[in-house]
Amino acid sequence: MNKLLLFFAICFLTACSTTTVEVNKEAGYLNAGDAQYTASLGDNETSAIWAKYLDAHNNRDMETIMSMESDSIKIWTPDGRFIEGKEAHSAVLTDWFAAASPKWEEYFSLPAKVNWENQPGQWVLSGSVVTETIEGEEVQQNHLIDAYIEDGLIQSFWVYSRVLVPAK
């Protein structure tokens, strides 16, 4: 009986042990001019930086927002504007916070690394529902973001937006 219990204990421990398996993390590509570069899954720390950045926006914490941006940040908005530099971004945010009180609720984040020789940072692909209050009415938009982060700072991002239609 003891041998039988020992046998089952060994089987159980063997079944529960974890093994390290090498996983191919390649996750796509980027076409740039005549070249194609592979993309791979990035470091989750990049997603954590972006989540902290959105949290600072929700808290209207301009000091934290500005500390997380590079001095030369570049932003492409869904309405076709291009914002360059922290000061310009601070002015736009201040006006937007006052006019619409936007709130972000992130629902996905995917860090990615493009294996491009001149690009040491990583990307975050993120989706959020942004709720604005305009003249007392709530409007929700779906925002998809491509953000480039290098050395722990937001360097640039592109915002793609779609107004959400209330469910019937």
DSSP per residue over 96-151, as a string?
Answer: HHHHH--EEEEEEEEEEEE--TT--SEEEEEEEEEEEEETTEEEEEEEEEEEEEET
Q: Is residue 10 part of a domain?
A: no
Dihedral over Cα of 134, 164, 126, 157: its sign: negative
Report the distance separating Cα 28 and Cα 37, nearest Å. Answer: 9
Q: Is residue 140 part of a domain?
A: yes
Q: Is residue 158 part of a domain?
A: yes
Tokens for 90, please give them: 């601070």
Q: Which helix (H) or strand (E) holds 52?
A: helix 44-58
The confidence score (pLDDT) of residue 163 equals 92
Number of domains in the chain: 1
Q: Is residue 54 part of a domain?
A: yes
Which residues in the chain come in under a pLDDT of 70?
1-24
Report the distance separating Cα 31 and Cα 19, nearest Å. Answer: 36
Please tell me the pTM assigned to this model. 0.81
Q: Is residue 18 part of a domain?
A: no
The confidence score (pLDDT) of residue 115 equals 82
Tokens for 147, please give them: 């953000």
- The enclosing domain of 47 has a CATH number of 3.10.450.50
Domain limits at 37? 26-163
The confidence score (pLDDT) of residue 167 equals 72
